[in-house]
């Protein structure tokens, strides 16, 4: 019985380890140029070059850079959390979680 348990434990450990291999990074989402002022969520836009320079200086993990860049590429570099009138609805939810249309139930 001990032999079976040791074999199962060893197999689980072996399978869960990636052997030092690096994970493939996901490709960056292509920029959505179909978003035009007529269909835009907001007219506020980030400067993509300044944003890329900021990420290069402030974020060392390439996978995080790719995720953030992909997020803003999908939005055609529109602001995510602000509109011309101030905080967006999503930004307000971050600012005050009590404004969410639902209240998640967390059981500890």
Q: How far apart are CA 100 and CA 94, in angstroms?
A: 9
Question: What percentage of the chain carries pLDDT values higher than 90?
Answer: 18
32-40 average pLDDT score: 77
Mean pLDDT of the chain: 75
Helical packing angle, 48-58 and 62-74, nearest 10°? 160
**Taking the model in full, what pTM does it have?**
0.60
């Amino acid at each position: 019985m001990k032999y079976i348990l040791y074999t199962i434990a060893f197999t689980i450990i072996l399978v869960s380890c990636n052997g030092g291999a690096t994970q493939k990074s996901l490709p960056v989402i292509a920029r959505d140029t179909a978003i035009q002022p007529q269909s835009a969520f907001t007219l506020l836009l980030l400067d993509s070059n300044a944003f890329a320079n900021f990420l290069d200086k402030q974020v060392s993990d390439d996978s995080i850079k790719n995720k953030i860049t992909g997020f803003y590429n999908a939005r055609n570099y529109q602001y995510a959390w602000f509109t011309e009138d101030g905080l967006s609805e999503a930004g307000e939810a971050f600012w005050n979680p009590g404004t969410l249309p639902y209240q998640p139930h967390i059981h500890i």
